[in-house]
Amino acid sequence: MTERISIGQLYPNAVPPASTRRTQPVQQPVSNSGKPTFHKLLQDQYVRFSHHAEVRLQERGIQLQPEQLDKISSAIDKAAAKGAKDALMLLNGNALIVNVPNRTVVTALDGKSMNEHVFTQIDSAVIIS
């Protein structure tokens, strides 16, 4: 007996087991011309902040100006070009841990919080002037 029988042939109305189900890959939004949408380009250009980072920024009284956000974005671009994944970025006495591929600030520390602090699970450091 060399014929193969699929689950759909045995049970035509049954849902296949999870191991055989195929999910569709998530498609990035594209315009009708096949180019990325404005929203996607905007997301790739700017810096995101995780909820944890937002809370830390508020707790520690760290306020970032638009010029500083531009510098962080530029530093992320440079780190990504070098293959960085998780980077420590130092900016005006503040430290930011950034997930480079997602362009997301994961946490933030001010100068007081950095005393005797050990940074782990980073693969690069960027000093932003």
For the stretch 60-98, pLDDT in tens is 999 999 899 999 999 999 999 999 999 999 999 999 999
Instruction: Note the pLDDT of residue 80.
Output: 95
In which domain, by residue range, is 79 found?
Answer: 47-128
Tokens of 38: 């404005």
Domain count along the chain: 1
Identify the helix (H) or strand (E) that includes residue 101.
none
- The 10s digit of each residue's pLDDT in 25-63 is 444 444 556 666 655 555 556 899 999 999 999 999 999
What is the Cα–Cα distance from 96 to 119, expressed in whole angstroms?
A: 10
Collapsing DSSP to helix, strand or coil, 8 comes out as helix
Residue 48 has what pLDDT? 93
Which one, of 93, 86, 84, 81, lies nearest residue 127 by Cα?
Answer: 93
Among 5-14, 90-99, 102-111, name the one with the lowest average pLDDT: 5-14
pLDDT at 61: 93
Closest CA to 96 of 54, 66, 65, 67: 54
More confident residue, 11 or 75: 75
**Does residue 7 sit within a domain?**
no
pLDDT-derived band at 3 (thresholds 50, 70, 90) equals low
In a domain, 31, yes or no: no
Domain presence at residue 96:
yes
Element (H, E) at 38: helix 38-45
Asked if residue 34 is part of any domain, the answer here is no
- Is 89 a domain residue? yes
